[in-house]
Homo-oligomer: A and B are copies of this chain.
């Protein structure tokens, strides 16, 4: 086994031109697939009743957020103040941080951010609401608030009914805060299989959001928004008549996990490019990316070489099993893989290599990479 002088055909197929230009490990984004995914979701959402506010926690990229807004999204969702800052720095004007924002250091940044763009946050705690109000008043800003209700994920959120109403009343009465509706995220159902069970459970659980709204409105308070939904449930939740806003994110880039549980309308636009660095024996190739290049929590990545399957993660290496024509892989050959979990894999990289028809055409920053604060 000897190394080739340049990146070269993988298992008999000619390698795309960008294989020679891009060093590894590298994040690769197929722009045509990305664009089609964004269009497909925009077309779906055009069928109503809700609007799209796509989640940027997966792609963490201003350029992708802009494409989503250009296709009709009403704003962007993210998870962290730091992500929102990165998006605002890129000119995104309307951002939902779909999370409870807690602590004086974060509130100081949050109200600064609210001076330069429209900010909505989730709340589920009376003390936190008091502190948000105090910080907003001191800064002279209005923070839009969604009261988060627990629809069965059992993570954050107050229970629908009296607890939700009590918190809504507090937000409505608080200076500096604008009550805008409810957040109801069915995160526990995104991957549920079979799909028909996902459908049934989603319709049942998301009805709790409607019940919460009805209970609050019976008390004379208006609930303008119900915001939630993910890529895995969007064909279900996205057609529920009481939903006003969908937070789906993974659909734009996709990953092997969502592909496995039924994202048939969306293409895997995101890959990781690796190099074979050792062929220690027949049937095995070692590549230059492991846990620091592709995350493992959802399972193994899909190797896009016929006859090649991921075998094991080390920290800096991947072990790949080779059969048939994949045995032709040589030291120096590059291969692409679809990560099983896009959100956490993207977070390991500083940039996307944007390719069109196999040619590198752009480099986009993962602007919110590592913005966990």
Contact = CB atoms under 8 A, between A and B. Distances in A.
Interface of A: 1-7, 23-26, 57, 79-80, 99-106, 124-128, 130-131, 150, 154-158, 187, 275-280, 286, 288-289, 291-293, 295-297, 313-317, 319, 330-332, 334, 343-344, 347-350, 369-370, 372-373
A106 B332 contact: no
A373 B334 CA distance: 13
Given A4-B127, A6-B104, A127-B332, A99 B316 contact: yes
A316 to B, nearest CB: 4
A156 B344 contact: no
A289 B79 CA distance: 11
B102 A3 contact: yes
B24 A373 contact: yes
A372 B24 CA distance: 8
A125 B3 contact: yes
A334 B1 CA distance: 54
Contacts of A7: 103
A26 B343 CA distance: 20
30 contacts: A1-B125, A2-B125, A3-B125, A4-B127, A23-B373, A24-B103, A24-B373, A26-B373, A79-B316, A80-B316, A100-B331, A101-B277, A102-B331, A103-B332, A124-B280, A125-B279, A127-B330, A127-B332, A154-B280, A155-B278, A155-B280, A156-B278, A289-B372, A292-B344, A292-B347, A297-B297, A348-B372, A349-B370, A369-B370, A370-B370
Contacts of A347: 292, 348
Nearest to A313: B297
A343 B15 CA distance: 33
Contact of A331 (B25, B106, B125, B277): B125
A157 B369 CA distance: 34
Contacts of A292: 343-344, 347, 372
Nearest to A296: B297
A68 B197 CA distance: 56
A292 B79 CA distance: 11
Given A25-B372, A102-B331, A289-B372, 18 more contacts: A1-B126, A3-B131, A23-B105, A79-B315, A102-B277, A102-B332, A124-B280, A125-B278, A127-B330, A127-B332, A128-B331, A154-B280, A156-B280, A156-B286, A291-B297, A293-B372, A297-B313, A315-B343
Contacts of A348: 347, 370, 372
B373 A106 contact: no
B373 A99 contact: no
Contacts of A3: 102, 125, 127-128, 130-131
Contacts of A130: 2-3
